[in-house]
Structure 1
Amino acid sequence: MEVDQPNAPNFDVNRFHQVTIRDPIAGADSTFTIPRRYSNLNFLNAGAQGTVVMADDSVTGERVAIKKMQQPFVMTMSAKRAYREFILLTTIKHPNIIRLLNAFTPDTSLQTFGEVYLVMELMTHNLHEVIHRLRLDHKTLSFFVYQSLCAIKHLHTSGVIHRDLKPSNIVVNDRCVLKVLDFGLARKKNVDTSMRMSDYVVTRYYRAPEVILGLPYSEKVDIWSVGCIFAEMINHTVLFPGKDRIDQWTKIYNVMGTPSDDFINQLGQSAAMYVRSLRRANPKPLSEIVPDSNFLPETENPRVNLTANMLKINPDERFSVEDALNHPYVRLWFKDEEVNAPASENRYDQEIDFADKTLQEWKGLIFQEVQRYQSDHDIFNG
């Protein structure tokens, strides 16, 4: 439900209008201050990173999604995340990555700056909803996995690791087109390969073993996440639903078995002692990880060993994104222009993750980027 608000003095009422949106789940209101080209707003979803509505765009005639970033300047971490997401959304372009259509703020000065809006193509469902409502045949399963891999291949080629792949961060439409979104935790690849995820807050269920155990990490953390999502699409339940970090590792260990000495020897002393103290576990056969009974009976059922290869505990043994894309299960969809699309321009400064900036400095950086975008785009007339 939308309600137009009375004119307010802190935005241009000739170009913007205010609409109050009710979150029916939380019972909370959110005020959107948006260009007049957008109307008929309806609540779509809300989360820690923002509130998303559907809207009509009178300029393009399309229905779009508008995300209001949730209080991006309250804490340094949220401001840093908002800056990261804004830069990447405005620069990364691929058919399987959500497309930014517009971005704006109604605020005209840094002093009054408090709101950032992102307008994106509207997708019908997120993958979490699809997984828990539908049983998917192999054609659809393999197509979803292929598109996920195309997205992360492009991110990695463009120098970015997503780090937070999960079903709720993947959206699909009625034509089974899949797109990855939410880049608030993404990081530069050449930085990530030599560092640990000390501030890593990705959803626990999809965390790779090297993250849980405090090892340096590479882009293969994204492959682990895709493997977990693939198994979840088949089983309709989370593969490793850990209650905390230790329980998460225990769930992985009980299914995938005791890791090799090569992997354990890379761990810190206390982590290595802990892993060696556990009873020896044999890996479960693939038929237990993704049982035949969880596939649709009328669909052809090849033994999907792609799952096992994406879920190797040791990242050195885990499939690369290229290995996964060349697996027969997904290779049938292979299109060179999707798999090997040219890298996107990436203006994201790799040093920004380590910069000791104040909240006001982060706010200034975001304002500068929004202003840059608005100077290059006609946000009111397309």
Structure 2
Amino acid sequence: MELMDANLCQVIHMELDHERMSYLLYQMLCGIKHLHSAGIIHRDLKPSNIVVKSDCTLKILTLAWPVQHSSWAWATKRMVIDIWSVGCIMGELVKGCVIFQGTDRILPQDLDPVIEQLGTPSAEFMKKLQPTVRNYVENRPKYPGIKFEELFPDWIFPSESERDKIKTSQARDLLSKMLVIDPDKRISVDEALRHPYITVWYDPTEAEAPPPQIYDAQLEEREQPQLKKLIYKEVMDWEERSKNGVVKDQPSDAAVSSNATPSQSSSINDISSMSTEQTLASDTDSSLDASTGPLEGCR
């Protein structure tokens, strides 16, 4: 995998215009569509699992759950959990903070900020919940929900022109369709890709590309014994060479500057000497300028 510049946690604290935000979301949706077409539900989409480059290209990390064909009908309905995650990420990109603060563990209490903002679920949806969760929700105060115009007011979106105001309305509409508690009423990946806020980037060669090849874990299991033997042999050979003062493949004395000490020359390729400066480190960084990379000409 190519080296990326940062994860989305850093981008969240930047002031993104609509072009960059919608392009990042488009790539997330394309990635999810490809995973689902390969029979994989991610289930752990979050800013730290998404990496970006300075030209706004994006990659999704950590695949979570391959689906067995026998459970495909069941899993298909639950694929929209990834859409919920994209909605939460989009909300963070807009607000610059987590919109539904939860815990590291999955607890009924994690539903509190969701219900308080989006409203108490319908009785129809409550029937789908596990008894313990249903009892918890039913014993909570009833909330009517907050309008999305109040949750995501105009002033938190970029608004420099009439076109931006139209984009703001589209962005809020997409959020309202992704952040739906009932998964049966939530927008699908294909529908989201065709949404006015996203479809400007739609490219059939990307969105309709063949699904990725599913990784064969059994192949690794078959190769592990052989790899262990090779690693063990390499370690033993290295210890033997070090013990005898003979280390193969070392550069000759002529290849090392006469001004460098042994410790200096041995650390030339050390990872600690690499630059860790990231191109998305601050809001004032120009590396994500809309005139570069795939966003060229958007403004």
Class of the TM-score when normalised by the shorter of the 2 chains: 0.5 to 0.7
For residues 146 and 226 of structure 2, what CA distance do their matches in structure 1 show? 49
Tell me what 1:135 maps to.
Answer: 15
1:122 is the counterpart of 2:3: yes
Name the stretch that deviates more: 284-293 or 314-323: 284-293
1:103-122 map, 5 Å = 120-122=1-3
For residues 223 and 152 of structure 2, what CA distance do their matches in structure 1 show? 44
For residues 369 and 160 of structure 1, what CA distance do their matches in structure 2 show? 29
1:358-377 map, 5 Å = 364=221, 367=224
For residues 153 and 175 of structure 2, what CA distance do their matches in structure 1 show? 12
Aligned equivalent of 1:327, options 195, 204, 211: 195
Task: Output one character per residue of 1:149-201: Cα deviation in whole Å (capped at 9) or x when no partner.
Answer: 00000000111111111111111111111111122x23326447648xxxxxx
Contact 1:156 1:189 in 2 (8 A): no
Aligned equivalent of 2:131, options 251, 257, 269: 269
Distance 1:369 1:289, change over 3 A: farther
Contact 2:100 2:113 in 1 (8 A): yes
Contact 2:51 2:60 in 1 (8 A): yes
Query: What TM-score comes out, normalization by structure 1 length?
Result: 0.53
1:292 is the counterpart of 2:154: yes
Compare the two structures and name the one with the higher helix fraction: 2
Distance 1:130 1:370, change over 3 A: farther
For residues 306 and 275 of structure 1, what CA distance do their matches in structure 2 show? 26
- How many residues in Structure 1 have an aligned counterpart in Structure 2? 219
1:282 is the counterpart of 2:162: no
1:65-80 map, 5 Å = none
Larger RCO, structures 1/2 (Cα 8 Å, 6+ apart): 2
1:156 is the counterpart of 2:3: no
Q: Which amino acid is the alignment partner of residue 242 of structure 1? A: G
Contact 1:164 1:186 in 2 (8 A): no
Kindly report structure 1 stretches of 4+ aligned residues shifted beyond 3 Å: 189-195, 362-366, 368-371
The gaps in structure 1 that reach 5 residues or longer are: 1-119, 196-215, 353-361, 372-382
1:228-243 map, 5 Å = 228-243=88-103
For residues 247 and 368 of structure 1, what CA distance do their matches in structure 2 show? 46
SS of residue matched to 1:305 = helix
Tell me what 1:45 maps to.
Answer: none
The higher radius of gyration belongs to 2
Q: CA deviation at 1:290?
A: 1.8
SS of residue matched to 1:312 = coil
Tell me what 1:169 maps to.
Answer: 49
The gaps in structure 2 that reach 5 residues or longer are: 229-299
For residues 182 and 368 of structure 1, what CA distance do their matches in structure 2 show? 25
Contact 2:125 2:182 in 1 (8 A): yes
For residues 291 and 323 of structure 1, what CA distance do their matches in structure 2 show? 24
For residues 41 and 31 of structure 2, what CA distance do their matches in structure 1 show? 11
Percent identical pairs in the alignment equals: 37
1:186 is the counterpart of 2:65: yes
Distance 1:237 1:369, change over 3 A: farther
Compare the two structures and name the one with the higher strand fraction: 1
1:227 is the counterpart of 2:92: no
For residues 223 and 111 of structure 2, what CA distance do their matches in structure 1 show? 37
